[in-house]
Homo-oligomer: A and B are copies of this chain.
Protein backbone atom coordinates (compact mmCIF):
# COMPACT_ATOMS: atom_id res chain seq x y z
CA UNK A 1 0.00 0.00 0.00
CA UNK A 2 1.73 3.15 -1.23
CA UNK A 3 0.64 6.71 -1.50
CA UNK A 4 0.32 8.09 -5.01
CA UNK A 5 1.43 11.59 -5.92
CA UNK A 6 -0.65 12.71 -8.87
CA UNK A 7 1.85 15.25 -10.24
CA UNK A 8 4.69 12.72 -10.02
CA UNK A 9 2.64 10.18 -11.96
CA UNK A 10 1.87 12.75 -14.67
CA UNK A 11 5.61 13.41 -15.02
CA UNK A 12 6.05 9.79 -16.15
CA UNK A 13 4.14 10.06 -19.41
CA UNK A 14 3.37 12.56 -22.13
CA UNK A 15 1.00 10.59 -24.38
CA UNK A 16 -2.44 12.05 -24.87
CA UNK A 17 -5.69 10.06 -24.90
CA UNK A 18 -4.02 7.06 -23.27
CA UNK A 19 -5.27 6.83 -19.69
CA UNK A 20 -2.88 5.23 -17.21
CA UNK A 21 -4.09 3.25 -14.22
CA UNK A 22 -2.73 4.55 -10.91
CA UNK A 23 -4.96 2.73 -8.47
CA UNK A 24 -7.71 0.16 -8.07
CA UNK A 25 -10.41 -0.13 -5.48
CA UNK A 26 -13.42 -2.36 -5.36
CA UNK A 27 -14.46 -2.83 -9.02
CA UNK A 28 -12.93 0.44 -10.19
CA UNK A 29 -9.74 1.88 -11.58
CA UNK A 30 -8.37 5.34 -10.88
CA UNK A 31 -6.72 6.62 -14.05
CA UNK A 32 -4.77 9.69 -15.12
CA UNK A 33 -4.90 11.06 -18.65
CA UNK A 34 -3.60 13.93 -20.72
CA UNK A 35 -6.18 15.10 -23.25
CA UNK A 36 -5.87 17.60 -26.08
CA UNK A 37 -8.08 18.16 -29.09
CA UNK A 38 -11.33 16.33 -29.69
CA UNK A 39 -12.03 12.70 -28.90
CA UNK A 40 -14.87 10.71 -30.47
CA UNK A 41 -18.52 10.59 -29.53
CA UNK A 42 -19.26 7.49 -27.51
CA UNK A 43 -21.16 6.17 -24.52
CA UNK A 44 -20.77 3.45 -21.95
CA UNK A 45 -23.93 1.37 -21.80
CA UNK A 46 -23.44 -0.05 -18.31
CA UNK A 47 -20.88 2.19 -16.63
CA UNK A 48 -20.90 5.65 -15.10
CA UNK A 49 -17.66 7.58 -15.53
CA UNK A 50 -16.13 10.41 -13.48
CA UNK A 51 -13.89 13.15 -14.92
CA UNK A 52 -11.99 15.32 -12.41
CA UNK A 53 -9.82 18.12 -13.80
CA UNK A 54 -6.38 18.24 -12.15
CA UNK A 55 -4.86 20.93 -14.37
CA UNK A 56 -6.26 22.93 -17.27
CA UNK A 57 -9.76 23.06 -18.71
CA UNK A 58 -11.90 20.28 -20.16
CA UNK A 59 -15.03 20.55 -22.22
CA UNK A 60 -17.38 17.60 -22.33
CA UNK A 61 -19.60 17.88 -25.36
CA UNK A 62 -23.05 16.48 -24.76
CA UNK A 63 -25.92 16.13 -27.20
CA UNK A 64 -27.82 18.88 -25.39
CA UNK A 65 -24.93 21.28 -24.80
CA UNK A 66 -21.37 21.54 -23.58
CA UNK A 67 -20.09 21.31 -20.03
CA UNK A 68 -16.82 23.07 -19.18
CA UNK A 69 -14.75 21.92 -16.23
CA UNK A 70 -11.94 23.86 -14.65
CA UNK A 71 -9.31 22.70 -12.15
CA UNK A 72 -10.95 21.22 -9.06
CA UNK A 73 -14.22 20.46 -10.82
CA UNK A 74 -15.67 17.10 -11.78
CA UNK A 75 -18.63 15.58 -13.53
CA UNK A 76 -20.08 12.11 -13.53
CA UNK A 77 -21.37 11.00 -16.92
CA UNK A 78 -24.15 8.50 -16.33
CA UNK A 79 -24.23 5.26 -18.28
CA UNK A 80 -25.86 5.54 -21.68
CA UNK A 81 -25.16 9.25 -22.12
CA UNK A 82 -23.26 10.14 -25.30
CA UNK A 83 -20.30 12.41 -24.71
CA UNK A 84 -17.22 13.71 -26.48
CA UNK A 85 -14.32 15.16 -24.47
CA UNK A 86 -12.57 18.17 -25.94
CA UNK A 87 -9.68 20.34 -24.78
CA UNK A 88 -8.31 23.31 -26.74
CA UNK A 89 -5.10 23.11 -24.70
CA UNK A 90 -3.81 20.04 -22.95
CA UNK A 91 -5.70 19.14 -19.80
CA UNK A 92 -4.73 16.70 -17.06
CA UNK A 93 -7.65 14.66 -15.74
CA UNK A 94 -8.30 11.96 -13.21
CA UNK A 95 -10.83 9.36 -14.26
CA UNK A 96 -12.76 6.98 -12.10
CA UNK A 97 -14.20 4.07 -14.01
CA UNK A 98 -15.39 0.50 -13.61
CA UNK A 99 -12.61 -1.92 -14.50
CA UNK A 100 -14.67 -3.07 -17.47
CA UNK A 101 -14.83 0.42 -19.03
CA UNK A 102 -13.30 0.84 -22.50
CA UNK A 103 -12.12 4.36 -23.32
CA UNK A 104 -14.15 4.55 -26.52
CA UNK A 105 -17.21 2.92 -24.99
CA UNK A 106 -19.44 1.28 -27.57
CA UNK A 107 -17.22 2.39 -30.47
CA UNK A 108 -14.26 0.29 -31.58
CA UNK A 109 -11.81 2.67 -33.23
CA UNK A 110 -8.15 3.43 -33.71
CA UNK A 111 -8.55 5.55 -30.56
CA UNK A 112 -9.37 2.47 -28.49
CA UNK A 113 -6.57 1.64 -26.05
CA UNK A 114 -5.89 -1.13 -23.58
CA UNK A 115 -5.57 -0.58 -19.87
CA UNK A 116 -2.03 0.19 -18.75
CA UNK A 117 -0.63 0.71 -15.26
CA UNK A 118 1.92 3.38 -14.61
Contact = CB atoms under 8 A, between A and B. Distances in A.
Nearest to A54: B72
Contacts of A74: 3-4, 6, 23, 30
A90 interface: no
Given A6-B73, A23-B50, A49-B25, A1 B96 contact: no
If over half of A's interface residues share one DSSP class (helix, strand or loop), that class is named, otherwise mixed; here it is strand
Interface range for A: 20 to 34
A24 interface: yes
A5 interface: yes
A1 B75 contact: yes
12 contacts: A1-B81, A2-B75, A3-B73, A3-B74, A4-B74, A5-B73, A24-B48, A25-B48, A25-B49, A26-B47, A28-B28, A30-B50
